[in-house]
Chain A
Amino acid sequence: EAGVAQSPRYKIIEKRQSVAFWCNPISGHATLYWYQQILGQGPKLLIQFQNNGVVDDSQLPKDRFSAERLKGVDSTLKIQPAKLEDSAVYLCASRIPGRDVAYEQYFGPGTRLTVT
């Protein structure tokens, strides 16, 4: 089966510009996550969707970050305006919406963002 797809793989922008990342989860995976992974740290959850509804966005910096999943399939994460500290790898993951988090999350390859 196809894995989680993300694009672009790399992006370089200047501070105060805007950027968008795209994720297509594994078919049938209604639960979708966006993580931010800063160099030298583990991934940090930004937002979790169940179908097209937001389950958890408590760690999303809402003044500059936004995410949507309009049709319950693919998702976009946007940063506007970007800051230097947003330089990171943005990972998308998906899983079957089971009763328990023990169901495995499948990760995409990530988008490496560099803000100059």
Chain B
Amino acid sequence: AQSVTQLGSHVSVSEGALVLLRCNYSSSVPPYLFWYVQYPNQGLQLLLKYTSAATLVKGINGFEAEFKKSETSFHLTKPSAHMSDAAEYFCAVSRGGSQGNLIFGKGTKLSVKP
């Protein structure tokens, strides 16, 4: 069975500071990993994904994530937070394949202070 654990339901950073959102996964097969962002009253938007190619994945809006198999982690980072980054972020795992579905973590709400 696959699962995702996001450490910290709420993270607060100052504008310009490093953003680090943590995600650990559990999977019996090589996983596909995703980060989605959700702005208030909107659907989810894909930030980036890992599908067994490069372990350092770059996404939209300056975000990136590194797949670390030894730590079963896929943490999301951004060097400098912007006010517009305030949103909820979800990590998701899939076993892959044509019928592999997404299993989401509980989400981390990011607040950015001016």
Give the B-binding residues of A (Cβ under 8 A): 4, 33, 40-45, 48, 55-56, 91, 93, 97-102, 104-105, 107-110, 112
| B84: Cβ under 8 A from any A Cβ | no
Q: Is the CB of A105 within 8 A of B99?
A: no
Q: Is the CB of B100 within 8 A of A100?
A: yes
Give the A-binding residues of B (Cβ under 8 A): 4, 9, 32, 36, 41-46, 49, 51, 90, 92, 94-102, 104-107
Q: Is the CB of A41 within 8 A of B45?
A: no
A40 and B106 in contact (CB under 8 A), knowing A109-B42, A109-B43?
yes
- Count A-B contacts at CB 8 Å: 69
Q: Is the CB of B100 within 8 A of A41?
A: no
Partner of B98, one of A44, A98, A112: A98
Chain A residues, Cβ within 8 Å of B99: 48, 55-56, 101
